[in-house]
């Protein structure tokens, strides 16, 4: 299909989003209804609350994206939705909506992997995906991926417990700071001393590309009774440095081992200025370039899902209307190692 016009719906976690995009990167409209404020009261995302909110907002985000794009539903060539990984009851809402449109209008449906959305977001708008190493650092995932080209990925490593963003969120909760924790910790860390508290760099020297962040969170918990409000900035700065240190070390090692000259960073933690500064510096000293996803595409959105769908639709792919949701990461996205 040449230059397909895609409508994509994203409901994998706590953002209800829809986007209209013309291949490869003409984003004609996007509406994101964030539920962050609803979940803030609980200090994290509550699946049942998320799915109810997706149901309440899916129609208005689709209508809003179409209106911005100035197109009607029957002008859309392909309907896409995130079908995993994510919260099962949340994924069902977006995927049922997109399948319903495809069925009613007799148009193709494309099931998109949320991780592929993040992974390719640094390349948003390009018709070709260059060989590179992808670092996906979001609230739900921490992955290093060797990217040969569009649709050709090899998983190098992932977190064995908490994701990097999840660690930021949990530490912020421990410190009574609110949700989502990443931006709050980053702001607090700006006035802190990075070296006063030495936090563990779990698995930094494990020789592979796996991660572990839950021990770091436990160290913060043990330190808490011995500290006061006045130590908060130093705690945040020390914690952030430990996360960044491991991410930078492993991402650069991965690029060297895979002989890639480019690291592509995506996901909410990719917004972190300390990560950007240290990764850019460490990679460039090895002759490796770093490309970050555009800020607006770091946290969950439907534009990145529409982009993946457009690349695949242009290659003639389509999914079965019977394609089920898949809540956990699985391995279908990746070639066998």
Q: Which is nearer to Zn ion, 245 or 300 (CB)?
A: 300
- In whole angstroms, the minimum distance from the beta carbon of 117 to Zn ion comes to 7
Taking contact as CB under 6 A, which single stretch among the options 163-171, 223-231, 254-262, 280-288 is the one that binds ligand KG4?
Answer: 163-171
Q: Which is nearer to ligand KG4, 15 or 146 (CB)?
A: 15
- In whole angstroms, the minimum distance from the beta carbon of 14 to ligand KG4 comes to 8
Q: 134 - beta bridge partners?
A: 145, 264
Structure tokens at 269: 């933690």
- In whole angstroms, the minimum distance from the beta carbon of 138 to Zn ion comes to 4
DSSP 219-254: HHHHHGGG--GGGHHHHHHHHHHHHHHHHHHHHHHH
90 binds ligand KG4 (CB under 6 A): no
- Segment 120 to 139, residues that bind ligand KG4, using CB under 6 A: 138-139
Q: Which of 31, 83, 91, 39 is nearest to 57 (CA)?
A: 31
Using the structure block, give the residue that is written with the tokens 């070709």: 128
Which of ligand KG4, Zn ion, none has residue 113 at its interface (CB below 5 to 8 Å by kind)? none
- In whole angstroms, the minimum distance from the beta carbon of 147 to ligand KG4 comes to 18
Indicate the burial class of 205 (C-beta count within 10 angstroms; 0-12, 13-18, 19 or more): exposed
Which of ligand KG4, Zn ion, none has residue 182 at its interface (CB below 5 to 8 Å by kind)? ligand KG4
Q: Give the integer Cα–Cα distance in Å for 136 and 269.
A: 9
Percentages helix, strand, coil for the chain (3-state, rounded to 5) are: 45, 20, 35
- The span from the first CA to the last CA of the chain, in angstroms, equals 31
300 binds ligand KG4 (CB under 6 A): yes
String marking each residue 100-119 x if it binds ligand KG4 according to CB under 6 A: --------------------
168 binds ligand KG4 (CB under 6 A): yes
Which of Zn ion, ligand KG4, none has residue 272 at its interface (CB below 5 to 8 Å by kind)? ligand KG4
The answer to whether the bond into 180 is cis (omega within 30° of 0) is yes
- In whole angstroms, the minimum distance from the beta carbon of 144 to Zn ion comes to 16
Q: Which of 14, 13, 20, 2 is nearest to 305 (CA)?
A: 20
13 binds ligand KG4 (CB under 6 A): yes
- In whole angstroms, the minimum distance from the beta carbon of 183 to ligand KG4 comes to 4
Taking contact as CB under 6 A, which single stretch among the options 32-40, 50-58, 61-69, 176-184 is the one that binds ligand KG4?
Answer: 176-184
Q: Tell me the H-state helices in the chain.
A: 36-40, 47-69, 88-105, 114-120, 164-174, 181-189, 214-223, 232-257, 273-284, 303-314
Q: Which is nearer to Zn ion, 188 or 300 (CB)?
A: 300
Q: Give the integer Cα–Cα distance in Å for 283 and 333.
A: 26
- In whole angstroms, the minimum distance from the beta carbon of 73 to ligand KG4 comes to 27
Q: Give the integer Cα–Cα distance in Å for 293 and 86.
A: 21
234 binds ligand KG4 (CB under 6 A): no
Q: Residues in the site for ligand KG4, rule: CB under 6 A?
A: 13, 138-140, 165-166, 168-169, 180-183, 186, 267-269, 271-272, 299-300
């Amino acid at each position: 299909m040449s230059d397909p016009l895609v409508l994509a719906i994203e409901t994998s976690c706590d953002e209800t989003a829809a986007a209209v995009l013309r291949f490869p990167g003409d984003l004609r409209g996007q509406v994101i209804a964030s539920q962050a404020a609803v979940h803030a009261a609980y200090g994290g995302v509550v699946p049942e609350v998320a799915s109810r909110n997706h149901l309440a907002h899916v129609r208005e985000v689709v209508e809003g994206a179409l209106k911005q794009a100035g197109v009607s539903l029957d002008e859309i060539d392909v309907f896409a939705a995130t079908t995993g990984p994510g919260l099962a009851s949340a994924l069902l809402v977006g995927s049922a909506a997109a399948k319903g449109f495809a069925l009613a209008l007799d148009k193709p449906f494309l099931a998109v992997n949320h991780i592929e959305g993040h992974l390719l977001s640094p390349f948003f708008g390009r018709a070709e995906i260059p060989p590179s190493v992808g670092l996906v650092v979001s609230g739900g995932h921490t992955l290093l991926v060797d990217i040969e080209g569009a649709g050709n990925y090899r998983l190098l490593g992932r977190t064995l417990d908490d994701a990097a963003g999840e660690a930021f969120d949990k530490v912020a909760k421990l410190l009574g700071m609110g949700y989502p924790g990443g931006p709050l910790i980053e702001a607090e860390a700006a006035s802190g001393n990075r070296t006063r508290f030495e936090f563990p760099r779990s698995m930094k020297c494990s020789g592979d590309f796996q991660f572990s962040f839950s021990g770091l969170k436990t160290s913060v918990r043990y330190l808490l009774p011995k500290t006061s409000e006045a130590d908060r900035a130093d705690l945040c700065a020390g914690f952030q440095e430990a996360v960044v240190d491991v991410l930078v070390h492993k991402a650069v090692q991965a690029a060297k081992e895979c002989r890639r000259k480019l690291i592509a960073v995506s996901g909410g933690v990719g917004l972190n200025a300390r990560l950007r500064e240290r990764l850019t510096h460490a990679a460039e000293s090895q002759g490796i370039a770093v490309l970050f996803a555009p800020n607006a595409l770091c946290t969950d959105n439907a534009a990145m899902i529409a982009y993946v769908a457009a690349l695949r639709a242009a290659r003639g792919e389509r999914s079965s209307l019977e394609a089920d949701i898949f809540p956990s990461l699985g391995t279908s996205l990746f070639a066998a190692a």
